[in-house]
Structure 1
Amino acid sequence: MRVELDRYSLRISGVRKLIRAGSLHYFRLPSPALWRDRLEKMRQAGLNAVELCYPWNYHSETRGDYDFTGIRDVDRLHDMVEEVGLYLIARPGPYIGADIDLGGLPAWILRDPSLVPRCRLRERAAFSLEFMKAMREWFEQVVPRFATRSNLILVQVENEYTVPAPYSGVRLDLWDLLIRWFGNSTLANLARGRSHPDSLFQAGAERGWGQTCLYMRELSRALRELGCEVPIFHNDLSPTRGRQTDVDLMGLDRYPIRRLDRDWRNNRKTFAGFTGDEVSLAAHRPQDAIFYPQLQAGWHDSWGGPGYARVRALLGPESIENVSQAALAERATLWSYSVFCGGTTWGYMGSPDVYTSYDCGAPIAEAGETGARYEAVRRLNEFIDRFEEDLVETERVEPGDRGSWCPEHLVTRQGPRRRFVFLRNTTRRPKRVPTREDTRTELAPWETQIRVYGADGQLEGVSPEPLRWSPPQVGTPPPLPRLERWTFANTSPQLDPAYDDSAWSALSRAQIERGRVDMDSLGVHYGFIWYRGSFHGPLDRLLLDARHCYAVYINRELVAAGDQFQNRWGVGPDGARMRRVSLREVRLNKGRNVIVILVESLGHNKGFVDDGANPRGIVRIDDGASPIHWRFRGGLVRGERGMNPVVAFEGVERTGNQEVVLPHGWTGGPNGVGLYETRFRMEGVDLKQRSLALVFDPGRGKANLYLNGYLIGRYWPERGPQQRFVLPLGVLEADQDNHLAIAVWKRSRRAALGKVRLELI
């Protein structure tokens, strides 16, 4: 298959194609059983391509070790893509973004100071031979797996490499202080809302802001040497500044709806950002087609956010109709909906700004169900298929002396045989437009309409009317197992002063004094870390900077707990500070005392502004002159390791086992972590047709949710919003016993687990 391109479109084996792809995060679907279902639904929606990004950290948690088996078997995934009949767009990185830890880079690179991640330092080019060696090893593992695939049409290098102002300003030290003062949400909205003037555009400079850099050229060269023969592209953030020209095809992000605290329908300029993309590209590369590698099909929610039911309602089918038609109005013939399939950010994979669910209001939801937004895409693709031969080769028709038809006239485009007139109503009220025909003369609220005229001037078609969606009726669900009887045990015996921690790693005084006690310095990159120390007599003082969530215990008793999570955006500094732990009411022995500090990382920043190395765990600690002998261990429960842990629960420490019925809570001991466990079997339910979820009633205390050992949920009832957790088929065993464990972290006087129930979606 030969893939060529020009200023209009891709030509595949000599035939022009209008490429409509969707992103599929296979790493958020931890079961190959789910991959084919999502691919088939994408094809049924009228898409003709799938975009796959390959997280380096998902396949290589340890340097030199690579895993492409089981839930990481991308060769099997590629086979499915071919069998379903979709073209493949591959994104091997090395940086992918995707709202995951370090943007997909493996955290082990943070331990080697000779490696400069992404060859970029404070958003400026800083070519790093050591990073390129590591990247080359990764590329040698992943690129040959897709390079020779017969359906491969495009390959992306890197992602959003140049960070334009004002986003770049969030890396400044002043931003750290401002986060503490004003909170991150206010500042994030300020940064998103500001614009940068076109006069800032600088072409051709060999620098971080420039249009060309050695890093990009070396990435492209590596792809060619490893067998990639299709066009290589990059996805830029700004249409005017920092566009990467060391690729065959330039692409552009378009996410017009980023605020979840207001209705986009109240802003008449919501989609105005598309206007001018065609002109801007022509100023850089007039020979390129218009390409949107990330065209908004959803948006991620954050801890404490409104929740995905609200996100889906906020976006509505109108938003995906409008972004698609806005792309066509700018001559786009290639785009990839991001994200088209929701998923589950299982384990400790997420960056700090996302929680477990990554539904995003996507056309295909996290649990696999489809609705109004999916149907809007399917109907629009039927229209595009009908007129594809003209839509792939259009030119803008400039208005005559009389100007546009009417205020709602957006643009007119001429194809080889047909003319396309774009009309847009940017209000909440219907608008009548002066057309020559009686067909569809009224624009619905927030409708973009495309009217198609033949060479004879006759109307040949109109884009679909705005969708009026009624959810299908669902029958009475079958009875599901009731999760009422549980066992409960203390799973943190390390709080006991008599506990033997000799198997833990020692922490030297020199490490503390040099400030090398954070998780990455200790090789514990993800999730939780326990610090355990012993000292004699009084404790002078205790000042602590621990990120993101922590609890301090002395001689079994909870002394302090808190969160250093001021930056919910997950971009830029953390806004953290040293906090004094009050020792006023702590009962200390004259002899030996034991202090235990448990810290949870919510993930590394995604590295958007070179902030992925922000430290996690204990960043600074001041215990005065008290000689404390420290040891440490990773994992909330014993045996938990890595970014995507699968825990063998038979090896987990437990004391004080008892049977309980939910809801269940406790005050006093045990402090630390309490473990609830039960088993259930699913029978008489077709789990290929309906997905299963676990729903929590309100409780108290952060919790990890494990299904058959897989960490498939992180629950934070005090922060929210997630209370329903999808149990992915494949991790969930049909017609077999399933082991369910919930580890509740007691960080206050009382902890509680409310009722938990199964629910079909």
Structure 2
Amino acid sequence: MDVTLTPRGLHVPPRDVNSKVEPRDQLEGLVEWDQYSMIIRGERMFIFSGEFHPWRLPSPGLWLGIFQKIKALGFNAVSFYTYWGLVEGTQGKVRFDGVFALDEFFKAAAEAGIYLIARPGPYINAETALGGYPGSTARIKAPLRGDDPEFIDTTELYAATVGKLIADAQITNGGPVIMLQLENEYDTWPDVNNTDFPAQLNINYMEHVKQQFKNAGNVVPQMNVGIFLGDELDVTVNNRFQSMALMPTPCDTICIGAHPDVWPKIRWPENWQLMHQKYSSNTPFFVAEFQGGSGTGFGGVNADACNALVNQESIRVLWKNNYRFAIKIFNIYMTYGGTNWGNLGYRGGDSSYDYGVSIKENRHIWREKYSEEKLEANFFKVSPAYLTAVADNASNGSYVSIDQIATTPTSTNTTTYKLIVLTSAGNLTIPKLGGELVLTRRDSKIHVVDYDVAGINLVYCTAEIFTWAQDASGKRTIILYGGAGELHEFAIDLTTLTTSAQIILSDTTWKYRSRIIHLRLNPQPLLTPTSLYASDYGFHSGSLIYRGHFTANGNESYLFLNLTGGNDFGYSFWLNNSFVTSWDGTGLGGGEPSHNDTISLVSHSLESGKPYVFTLLIDHMGQDEEAPGTDAIKSPMGLINFDLVGHVQSDVTWKLTGNLGGESYHDLERGPRNEDGIKSAGVGFFTTTFELDVPAGYDVPMSFVFANSTSTSAVPTSPSPSTPSIATISRNHRIQLFVNGWQFGKFVANIGPQTSLPVPEGILNHNGLNTVALTLWSLDGGGTRLDGFSLEPEMPLWSGYRKPWLAPQPAWREREGAY
């Protein structure tokens, strides 16, 4: 078979020519490889993988269904991260249990027939707070992701624990794990140079990580994401390969604006075959994270708008462009995204991790890209000759009649062309029976020549192949497809036919031719006499409350605050019990992770000699991720600096609180980031209970929906009609949703975009009692009201549904130390 990809091509040599498959100890017969492809259990295989993070769907009973939907795409693998910060919230105690256990994940993958690519970090990025690190790492003075023992020692327990879990699930032990990624995005970030992050340092660190997982019993092939800083990392060690893997996002990672007709040209794939030959020529070409969608953030657009950007056209053009580089391990980030529940996301994201991908956050699969992905993946399942194909270096237009055809992000024109190819029947210009082929808007085609269908030679075909099969009697059935209104033509070598051919045509036009105590720990510069950084006290997520005690001298006219809370954060400020002001995250500086404010106290007439208390409530939106060598995740959060006119800083004594216990958190079932310290004037806590009784066998996704109004209105505040009292109420508020104790998202009324928060069965009890709680934080002095709040069922899913068991739901109880 020869495969032509418009505009460039692939060359397929005779099968297995120059293949150098060598024995690899205990992997022999299970996982092998050469320069062409992976060989699993003796079968050459294109590893077509989808990214899925189990901790973003904390209902293990639903994991099998996700695996089945990925399998139905034609994919044969899933790549997954483990999140160090969720399992070691208390330093020295690693908890892989409950919804964080991996056993059920491995079991479900095996049942669905899915291989796994394990990505345990320790650093994962993944739009998570601190890039997946525990909050305690923000206090490490040594550079993170380097070879200093202060940092390395903190990783040992986690690496040993997760490494053993993964090792036990390797294919060598009868499990589904066939590959292991160490670290993540280690040298691919821009503006990271050898001075900031010395090459020898990262080489030492990567060798240590490799040894950690080897010591835990991991023997499957290892890889890293990125272009290596030196050939030292591109080596085979103890019968492992270290494969170069890329992570391009041509349409960017955050779909700001997300106009579907504007494709930003970010990391556009052009010369990957040359890079692969330079860095990792002895291993199959691995694209570890290719764009399946884009993330959302507060103040941006919703996930459906991201899908409109990275849509089915994107899949057709960008994925098919990749195939011409002869990639043989292809992972799509994401394929199912899930939810940033429990404050696990980074500062730039919102509560959804739908990502605009083919399987929606609520597990629906109606987006058209799901079907396009299925068409492409299934083609490779029945095209074994691709597995030994090598990339050609042909230029644009090499196989077509015009030079206007090229992979470009800009054109939405319709272009007609003829295909010019060398076949077993000679040089042909196609179509031969008249007319022209067409690319409509953004499109790409896989045209095949001399394609083998179980011994029948398909000399050429302008339509694309979905799949083909041969039954027990020898009958071959091939399914071809094309776009609406297109003309297609194919030819069969009649000499390879042993029986008659039956052609079944559809409506297409065809032509047939055969994610305060006084101490100083955070290494960042200190701007106050005592550290006020939240991480120094073990508070890493949710809302933060500061109280500043001082004695007035009568000169307090203004208070300056320098705050950091993450993108689109907000704050409210009180003097004693009186509301003074808020910042709602908009206006000057809106959307930024830090904010400076100067607050007037003139109208409050503070009396000299009297004690006063400032109360400051900050909405913690999550920490940043980081590039190697930057230590960005150590950036302090909370109250960074202050200045009270008429006083030195030491006149004000501050206290800080967050979630009860901080790193010694109480709710072990829901993890270290689920709770916060929100308890303050201006914040209401509302609860209700209700029962559900969904009919047996029905898989009904449900979402909590908030009415979205940011207007103000006059409403009655007196219960007596004869003495009406009218107040102005705004809708300028922030809400957290708790479902049976699980924090399942934030609603920021004045910023958006989310108004609908999906909650999976298992967290939500579909056949019994549920408790729902809302924290309602008004950012205005006049109070607020919620216009509407409902639980809405969505379209039922038809799948291999098994009723999921309930995630742990320990009930409320009074806790020691609570106040």
- TM-score range with shorter-chain normalisation? 0.7 to 0.9
* 2:136 matched residue in structure 1: 108
Counterparts of 1:235 and 1:509, CA distance in 2: 35
Letter of the aligned partner of 1:156 in structure 2? Answer: Q
Query: Which residues in structure 2 correspond to 1:130-149 (within 5 Å)?
Result: 130-149=150-169
CA-based RMSD: 3.5
Secondary structure of 1:213's partner? helix
| Equivalence for 1:194 | none
Displacement of 1:687 in angstroms is 8.3
Give the secondary structure class of the aligned counterpart of 1:83: helix
Counterpart among 681, 705, 715 of residue 737 in structure 2: 705
Q: Find the aligned partners of 2:450 and 2:632 in 1 and give their Cα distance.
A: 53
Task: Summarize the Cα distance change of 1:404–1:508 in structure 2 as closer, same or farther, 3 Å threshold.
Answer: closer
Tell me if structure 1 keeps the 8 A contact 2:764–2:770: yes
Deviations 1:107-127 (A, max 9, x none): 1112232x43211xxxxxxx2
Alignment partner of 2:550 out of 535, 545, 565: 535
Residue 756 (str. 1) matches residue 758 (str. 2) = no
Query: Which amino acid in 1 is paired with 2:299?
Result: G
Counterparts in 2 of 1:410 and 1:636: CA distance versus 1, 3 Å: farther
Q: Kindly provide the CA deviation profile for residues 560-601 of structure 1, in whole angstroms up to 9, marking residues without a partner as x.
A: 22267999999xxx6746432211122535533222111222
Match of 2:291 in 1: 296
Deviations 1:433-476 (A, max 9, x none): 213236982223211101111176712562465778xxxxxxxx
- Post-superposition CA distance 1:319-341 (Å, at most 9, x none): 12323212211110101110000
- Which string of whole-angstrom CA distances, capped at 9 and with x for unpartnered residues, describes residues 366-410 of structure 1? 0100021111111222212121x1111112345599954234698
Partner of 1:682, secondary structure, is strand
Residues 147-192 of structure 1 deviation map (CA, whole Å, 9 limit, x = unaligned): 13222211001111114435x59xxxxxxxxxxxxxxxxxxxxxxx
Written as runs of structure 1 = structure 2, the 5 A alignment for 1:120-269 is 127-149=147-169, 150=171, 151-166=176-191, 168=192, 208=198, 213-236=203-226, 245=234, 248-258=242-252, 259-261=255-257, 263=259, 265-266=261-262
Contact 1:271–1:323 (Cα < 8 Å) also in 2: no
Matched, 1:69 2:97: yes
Cα drift, residue 94 of structure 1? 0.5
Contact persistence 1:506–1:630 (CA under 8 A): no
Report deviation, 1:342. Answer: 2.1
Pairs within 5 Å for 1:413-428: 427-428=411-412
Structure 2 vs 1, CA of residues 5 and 409 (structure 1 numbering), >3 Å: closer, same or farther? farther
TM-score, length-normalised on structure 2?
Answer: 0.73
Amino acid across the alignment from 1:628:
V
**244 and 452 in structure 1: CA distance in 2 versus 1, 3 angstrom threshold:** same
For residues 706 and 445 of structure 1, do their structure 2 counterparts lie closer, same or farther at Cα, with a shift above 3 Å needed?
A: same
Specify the alignment match of 1:444 in structure 2.
440
Distance 1:725 1:401 in 2: 46
Q: 1:652 to 1:130 in 2, by over 3 A?
A: closer
Gapped regions of structure 2 (runs ≥ 5) = 1-28, 236-240, 420-429, 452-456, 467-480, 485-515, 709-730, 795-819
Q: How far did residue 621 of structure 1 move?
A: 2.2
| Structure 1 letter corresponding to 2:573 | V
State how far apart, in whole Å, the 2-side matches of 1:20 and 1:509 are: 49
Relative distance call for 1:399 and 1:528 in structure 2 (3 A) is: closer
Alignment match of 2:626 (pick from 592, 607, 611):
607
Q: Which has the larger radius of gyration?
A: 2
Determine if the alignment matches structure 1 residue 584 to structure 2 residue 602: yes
Distance 2:599 2:397 in 1: 73
Residue in 2 that maps onto 1:191: none
Q: TM-score, normalised by structure 1?
A: 0.78
SS across alignment from 2:601: coil
Q: 1:539/1:47 Cα in 2 relative to 1: closer, same or farther (>3 Å)? A: farther
Pair 1:735-2:745 in alignment: no
Which stretch has the larger CA shift, 12-21 or 315-324?
A: 315-324
SS of residue paired to 2:733 = coil
Distance in structure 1 (CA, Å) of the matches to 2:595 and 2:31: 54
Letter in 1 for 2:759: L
Secondary structure of 2:445's aligned partner? strand
Moved more, 366-375 or 210-219: 210-219
Answer yes or no: is the 8 Å Cα contact 1:239–1:280 preserved in 2: no
Q: 2 CA distance for matches of 1:335 and 1:216?
A: 23
Change in Cα spacing, 1:567 to 1:31, as seen in structure 2 (3 Å) is: farther
Partner of 2:752: 720
Matched, 1:35 2:63: yes
- The corresponding residue for 2:474 is none
Q: Which residue of 1 aligns with 2:400?
A: 405
Query: Which secondary structure does the structure 2 equivalent of 1:458 belong to?
Result: strand
2:390 equivalent to 1:395: yes
Would you say the 8 A contact 2:397–2:403 is kept in 1?
no
Cα distance in 2 for partners of 1:86, 1:240 equals: 33
Q: Which position in structure 2 is the counterpart of 1:279?
A: 274
1:666 is matched with none
1:617 corresponds to 2:646? no
Q: For residues 402 and 99 of structure 2, what CA distance do their matches in structure 1 show?
A: 52
Contact 2:415 2:440 in 1 (8 A): yes
CA contact (8 A) 1:409 1:424 kept: no
1:55 is displaced (CA, Å) by 0.7
Contact 2:258/2:301 (<8 A) preserved: no
Contact 1:507 1:630 in 2 (8 A): no
Tell whether the 8 Å contact from 1:53 to 1:93 is kept in structure 2 after alignment.
yes
Could you tell which deviates more after superposition, 521-530 or 362-371? 521-530
Distance 1:329 1:252 in 2: 15
Return the letter of the residue paired with 1:521.
D
**Paired position in structure 2 for 1:462:** 464
Contact 2:140 2:150 in 1 (8 A): no
Distance 1:552 1:76, change over 3 A: same
Q: Distance in 1 between matches of 2:602 and 2:245?
A: 59
3-state SS of 1:273 partner: coil
Partner Cα separation in structure 1 for residue 322 and residue 339 of structure 2: 29
Which residue in the other structure is 2:652 paired with? 628
Task: Work out the CA distance in 2 between the residues paired with 1:401 and 1:522.
Answer: 59
User: In structure 1, what residue type is equivalent to 2:157?
Assistant: E
The equivalent of 1:679 in structure 2 is 689
User: Equivalent residue for 2:356?
Assistant: 361
* Secondary structure in structure 2 of the residue aligned to 1:281: helix
Q: 1 CA distance for matches of 2:387 and 2:336? A: 26
With over 3 angstroms needed to count, the CA separation of the structure-2 counterparts of 1:452 and 1:508, relative to structure 1, is closer
* CA displacement, residues 652-689 of structure 1 (integer Å, 9 cap, x when unaligned): 98xxxxxxxxxxxxxxxx94211222222222456852
Contact 1:646-1:711 within 8 A present in 2 as well: yes
Structure 1 residue 233, shift from structure 2 partner: 0.5
Residue 699 of structure 2: which of 683, 689, 708 is its match?
689
For 1:148 and 1:567, locate their aligned partners in 2 and report how far apart those are by CA, in whole Å.
Answer: 53
Confirm whether residue 547 of structure 1 aligns to residue 564 of structure 2: yes
Q: Secondary structure at the match of 1:287?
A: coil
Between the aligned partners of 1:701 and 1:262, the Cα distance in structure 2 is 26
- Find the counterpart in structure 1 of residue 304 from structure 2: 309
**Are 2:272 and 2:325, in contact at CA under 8 Å, matched by a contact in 1?**
yes
What is the rounded CA distance, in whole Å, between the counterparts of 1:362 and 1:252 in structure 2? 19
Structure 1 range deviating more: 591-600 or 77-86: 591-600
Aligned residues of 1:679 and 1:738 also touching (Cα < 8 A): yes
Partner of 1:184: none
Give how far 1:534 is off: 2.9
The aligned length equals: 647
Structure 1 contact 605–612 (Cα < 8 Å) conserved: yes
2-side partners of 1:304 and 1:467: how far apart? 37
User: Where does 1:1-16 land on structure 2 (aligned, <5 Å)?
Assistant: 2-16=30-44
Q: CA deviation at 1:232?
A: 0.6
**Percent pairwise identity:** 23
- CA–CA separation in structure 2 for the residues paired with 1:564 and 1:260: 17
2 CA distance for matches of 1:17 and 1:684? Answer: 42
Mapped partners of 2:585, 2:341: distance in 1: 22
1: distance between equivalents of 2:643 and 2:661? 27
